[in-house]
Structure 1
Amino acid sequence: MPELTEELFPYFIFFHGDLGVQGPVDDSGMQSYWITNGFFLVPSNDDSFSLPQLDTYTLGTKRTHRKQTILPHQFVYFKHTRALEYQYREKPSGFSYTFLDEKSGTAIFMKNSEKLFLHRNFRLCTYKEIEEGFSKNLGSYDGHAYWDYAVPYLGNQIIGCYENYKLLALDSVTGEELYDIEYTPGLSIYDCDFRYARADETLLDELKQNGGIIS
């Protein structure tokens, strides 16, 4: 399994919140490393790294070994001894994505649970574009934001889950906060039928607000 070195770490893009899975342990029960899945973008002339090479082995009449360069946007598991995400943002965590649709190419990148950037085709995106997108401080609230996730919505809108489970719609171009989305955290009743339920008006309003069918 390839190792995510200090040189590669700033360019590795992984799923937001992914702390990695535990690797093997030694004889004393100590964990050796973490394992995380992610990819790299196409390096530009401004980037100080090259796509890493993998050691590959072919089994047949004779086992052969060769080097193979990782392709851009190719998802690969890497082992690493440092955590990629840090709780409470103790240190920078590089690039991550909170939404990625491989079919359409739409992606929302995130940095330190704070900054958001929407791109319509991540395969054509560069690290410089992401950094410039982060520099607009979309949704960062002067560095006080904490987003659990975000998804693209109508037009240029992004819907994100802000701290304390608050859902907000943002303009991905201007960063303007457009409106709140009222719901009750913990309820998963969308499209459930409550037409014959006996409940007071307050509860019926809450059921409707969270997607329940009441009429």
Structure 2
Amino acid sequence: MFKTLLIGESLLAQYFDFTEVNWERISNATQETLLMTIGSVIAVFILGLVIGLLLYETNGKKSLAVTILHGIVSILVNVFRSIPFIILIVLLIPFTQKIVGTMIGPVAALPALIISSAPFYGRLVEAGFREIDKGVIEAAEAMGANKWQIIYKILIPESMPSIIAGITTTAISLVGYTAMAGVIGAGGLGNLAYLEGFQRSQPTVTLVATIIVLVMVFVIQGIGDRVVDRVDKR
């Protein structure tokens, strides 16, 4: 057993050389990944709530205009959810250059990250609203509550565990998307792992970048689980 461990450590030492890691570049890449993740999560949270509310409030209505609006929003959501992220970020290059002024760097990745994830999160928000007991909403309406009061006093508070769980799942997906964005010039840990780790045959750099991404995912999941436990009143 001990001999096997020694052999394993020897093989790892031959393959991974931590002296080749530029820790300053690792730190900068980590900050870029955090910038992309946090910036996109904030925007996705806001847009996702709006999309979820639109889908929920316009579903099953008798008004023709509202039905058409629901159909348009639903189609757009399904389209952008279906396009693979790596293809979407390429398709959005002209749009990104117009609004950001460049297609390289963490900020340039934000439009694609937001547009790809907001529809997905919007569907999760809609699903959370659908789980609310209809009787609670009907009781509020019978007491004279208007639409906005129902939204911010019943819909959002009652579905908060689902909303938090959904943004946690979305944030973890966004960490993975930032790695893919990095491969085509957005920076971050994905860019570092590909350019310095893969192309320059430095597997230790790729290993370190992967470990940092895993730590981010575990931290996000842990925070999300704690918040859900706190807001869940059931």
TM over 0.5, shorter chain:
no
Between 1 and 2, higher relative CO (CA 8 Å, sep ≥ 6) is seen in 2
Q: So what's the TM-score if we normalise by structure 1?
A: 0.23
Higher helix share: 2
Q: So what's the TM-score if we normalise by structure 2?
A: 0.21
Higher strand share: 1
